[in-house]
């Protein structure tokens, strides 16, 4: 799966703690829709976001790797530093 900018921002919201473990999935979907402008369900279904009992539990092991790959690709394409992204 190749991440879109929106997908990256959704994963980043969990990675950085803006969305914490225990957040109900429906609240997370609303947050993503209203704040980020995307739908996290495909990322959950693809196995990048862990859920249990209808709550967000964090990212799976493969999510940070996917995020790093996107940053590296953006850096090469735009000559930006990771801090700028």
Interval 17-42: pLDDT, tens: 999 999 999 999 999 999 999 999 99
User: Which tokens hold the place of 6?
Assistant: 């929106």
Confidence class of residue 50 from pLDDT cuts 50, 70 and 90? very high
User: Which tokens hold the place of 84?
Assistant: 């700028």
Which CATH number characterizes residue 16's domain?
1.10.10.10
Nearest alpha-carbon partner for 31 in 45, 48, 12? 12
Domain extent at residue 52: 5-77
Strand partners, 59: 49
- Count the domains in the chain: 1
What pLDDT does residue 80 have?
53
Confidence class of residue 74 from pLDDT cuts 50, 70 and 90? confident
Rounded to whole angstroms, the Cα distance separating 82 from 78 reads: 11
Helices (H) and strands (E) in the chain, counts: 4, 2
What pLDDT does residue 70 have?
84
- Work out whether the CA dihedral 81, 6, 9, 63 comes out positive or negative: negative
What pLDDT does residue 85 have?
46
């Amino acid at each position: 799966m190749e991440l879109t900018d929106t997908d990256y921002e959704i994963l980043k919201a969990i990675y950085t703690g803006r969305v914490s473990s225990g957040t109900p999935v429906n609240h997370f979907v609303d947050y993503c829709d209203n704040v980020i402008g995307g739908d996290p369900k495909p990322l959950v279904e693809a196995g990048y976001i862990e859920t249990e009992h209808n709550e967000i539990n964090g990212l799976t092991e493969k999510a940070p790797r996917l995020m790093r790959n996107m940053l590296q690709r953006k850096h090469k394409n735009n000559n930006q530093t990771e801090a700028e992204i």
